[in-house]
Chain A
Amino acid sequence: MASPPQQELRRRSMIAAAATTAAIGTVPAALAQSSAETPPEAAKATTLKVSFTVNGKPRDLELDPRTTLLDALREGMNLTGTKKGCDHGQCGACTVLLDGRRINSCLTLAVMHPGADITTVEGLGTPDRLHPMQAAFVKHDGYQCGYCTPGQICSAVAVLAEIEAGIPSHVTTDLNAKPQLTGAELRERMSGNICRCGAYSNIVDAITEVAGSKA
C-alpha cells in the first residue's frame, strides 16, 4: 500500500465556498463548508484527498474523513446502485468488490483505500449489457423490491470466486478438501445479504445456473 506524502495527510484544508455551489467534477459541493463563524470543533473538520479506481475509472476525491466508502459512492460519485440498508454491517445491501473481494462498504472509510480497485453493481453490467449474474437474477426472478439486489449480485459473483479459490465455509464438511458447489454452500455463503422480500430460493437458483455454465 503506497503511503501518501505526510504533508498531505496532515493538511487541514478548509474549503470556503458558498453553500449553493454546484457539484464540480467528483468533489461534491455538499462537502464544502463555510469558514465563517466556525466553532473550535470545526477546526477538525478537515477534508482529505484520496484516489482510487471505481469500475475501471480513476477517481480523485476530497472528502470529510468520516465519509464511508458507501457514502462516497452514493453521494460523492452518484453511484447509487450500491444501497444503504442499515449502515451498520447488518444487511449486506452495500456489498461491493474491493480489490476483487466483497466487503460491506458501509463499514469502511473512503480515505482508507488509496489506490484500491473498486467494483460496484454498475461496473458489472448495464441494462443493455447485463452481466451473466444479473441476467440470471432476471431469469430466475431472484429479487422483488430490488433494494438488496445489487448487494446480492456483487456477493454472488464473489461467492463463486471464493469457492473456486478453495476458501471454506461454515458448512464445508471437510476443511482440508476443496469446497463443493452445493445449495447448502451457496446459502451459507450468501447469508450476509438479507432479502426481506424473501427471494432466497430464486437467488440460489440464479447463482447455481451461472456456476453451472461457468464449469
Chain B
Amino acid sequence: MTAYFLQRLIQSIAVLLAVSVVVFFAVYGIGDPIELLVPPQASAAERLALIKRLGLDQPVWHQYFTFLGNALSGNLGTSFVHGVPVVSLILGRLPATLELVLLSMITAAVVSVPLGLYAGLNPDSRPARFIMAGTVIGFSLPSFWKGMMLVLLFSVWLGWLPTAGRGETVAFLGLQTSLFTWDGLEHLILPTLNLAIPNTVLMVRLIAAGASEATTQDYVKFARAKGIPRRRIVNRHILRNILIPVVTVVGIEFGSLVAFSTITETVFSWPGMGKLLIDSIYQLDRPVVVAYVMLTTLLFVGVNLIVDVLYAALDPRVKLSGGMT
C-alpha cells in the first residue's frame, strides 16, 4: 500500500511539474510576459521595475526556477483589476464553488442510485426505457442551455425561484455559506440542479450497466440459490460491487464539475471561481487566469490521487497489478 501510494504520489508530482512547464512557456515563453503581467496603463518605470523583479533579464532556466519557487511559496501574482494577490482572490471564491459542486454531487448520488438500480434490474420495463432515453437527452443537451431553460421555466414563467446570484449567506465554521438561510437555499436550487444533471446521467448509466451485468454473475446466482431475499441481494451484494467504479467516476468527475461550474456560474451569476475566471478573461486579468490553471491542476491531481488510493483500498486487486495507468 505504501509503495503504491508513493508511486502514485511521484506520478502526480510529475504531472504538476509538466503543467508548470506548459504554463510557464505559454506565459513567459510564447507570449511576452510584460504584455501579460503588466497592466496596459503602466508607466515605463513600472515596466522596468517589473522586468527586474520578475528576473526577465536572467537565463530561461533560471526564470523557470524563479517562477516555480514563487508558485511553491504561493505567489502567483497580483490581479490587475482587484489589486490583491490572485491566490487569495481565487481562494476567496472557492467556498461558493465548493458549495455548489458538493451539493450537486450529493444530489446526483441520491437521485441516480435508485434510478440506475431500477433500470439495470428491470431493463425491459417501460420506466427503464424511459429512464435510459432520458439519459441520452440529458447527456446531449449543452449545460448552458439546460440552465437557461431552468431559468426560463422556474424564474421567468413560473416566478418560483430567483434568476441569479447567491442570496443571503451566513458564516459557518469560518466560511460563508448559503445553506442555512431560506434565501440562500432558494438561490442554490437551480444552479445545483443544473450542475447535477450530467453526473446524474452518467451515474445512472454506470449503475444500470453494472446492475444488469451483476445479475448474471455467479455470486448473485449463488446468493439466490441460498434463498437470500432479493432486497438483501441487491443491497448487500450487487450495490457494493457496483459502487467501486462509481466511486472512481465520481472522484474523477469532481474535477470536471469544478470546470463545468464555470458554465453554471455564468448562467446563474453565481459568484464562484468559475465566474471569476470568465470575468478575468473578459477584463484581460491574466495573472488570475494563470493562477486558476495552476490551482485547478493541483485540485485535479490531488483528487485523482485520493481516488486511486481509495480505489486500491476498496479493491485489493489494484495493488497487485500495479495500478491502472
Q: Indicate, yes or no, whether A interacts with B.
A: no
Question: A residues engaging B (CB < 8 A)?
Answer: none
